[in-house]
Amino acid sequence: MKTDPFKEYIKASEPSKAIKGYAWSTAIGLQAVDGLKTSKYLIDKAIDNIEGKISIKEAQNLIDAYYEEKTEHSVDEERTEEADKVSARIAELLSETAFSFSPAEYISIHKKLFNGLYKYAGKIRDYNITKKEWVLDGASVTYGTASELKASLEYDFEQERNFSYKGLSMDETIHHLAIFVSRLWQIHIFGEGNTRTTAVFFIKYLRTLGFSVTNDIFAENSWYFRNSLVRANYTNIPNDVYKTTEYLEIFLKNFLLNKNYELNNIDMLIKK
């Protein structure tokens, strides 16, 4: 979003408005990772929810009804519909405190976000993928092999579950968190919607670690977040390019520690 209509709510003195403002701001901002934009109607319903005029469920029902009334859908309208519906679902998930650190929770989040939008919502992909990345000058990250996705996911969760943050400096903690989330994302167990699912899961996980995040970093820099995940998982030795979590770490320092590092996508761009 070029102008965040929820910024005033995030900074509001009323905790309930700040939490809702953060949830909606982040939810809408995350659509940028897939080049999606929400409608004005969604923004209006979000503000009504923040102001306490309607519940999050009522907002979702109104959005669903809004699109059910449309008899024709262009490709652009379908993309906006996805952005609106997924934003409302993310806002709901980020407003909830319930959470379980498990592969099942991760998969469940994907299903909740994309049910009715993707036929494979909540399903692990059974085919291999590549994706051309702007930040890699058209190259692709090597994603998880279809036959090993479940095992890879379970392994990463087990490693993180058994990891102890005790005694680590904050820089060491940030570095480890960057490694964990970048590996989780690299598996790419779903056909689409991996970054949004990973972001929602990661934010909720960070809360269980004691981090209180109610800022607009994701809202304003979600594309940077995605590109930093890409750079954390790409190596090209002939071109002297190596995977690095440095960009992801400065994003997390801004997000978790309220630092003010500049986040410029162009800094991550690789040119062959």
- The DSSP letter of residue 144 is P
> By three-state DSSP, how is residue 236 classified?
strand
User: Residue 55, SS3?
Assistant: coil
Residue with tokens 């969604």: 42
Element (H, E) at 81: helix 75-95
Q: What is the pTM of this model?
A: 0.94
Mean confidence (pLDDT) of the chain? 93
Which tokens in the block code for residue 205?
Answer: 């996980």
Which pair of structure tokens corresponds to residue 233? Answer: 């998982």
pLDDT the model gives residue 18 = 86
Quick check: 148 and 187 in contact, CB under 8 A?
no
Report how far apart, in Å, the C-alpha atoms of 102 and of each of 106, 186, 206 are. 7, 17, 14
- In angstroms, rounded to a whole number, what is the distance separating the alpha carbons of residues 266 and 54? 40
CA 156, distance to chain mean position in Å, is 18
Sign of the Cα torsion 180, 33, 242, 128 reads positive
Superfamily of domain 99-272 in the CATH hierarchy: Fido-like domain (1.10.3290.10)
CA distance 248 to 258: 14
Q: What is the pLDDT of residue 3?
A: 60
pLDDT digits (tens, 9 = 90+) for 195-208: 999 999 999 999 99
CA distances from 198 to 54, 185, 201, 253 (A): 28, 6, 5, 18
| pLDDT tier at 108, thresholds 50, 70, 90 | very high
* pLDDT tens-digit map of 16-65: 888 899 999 999 999 999 999 999 999 999 999 999 999 999 999 999 99
For the chain, domain boundaries:
1-96, 99-272
Q: How far apart are CA 201 and CA 218, in angstroms?
A: 13
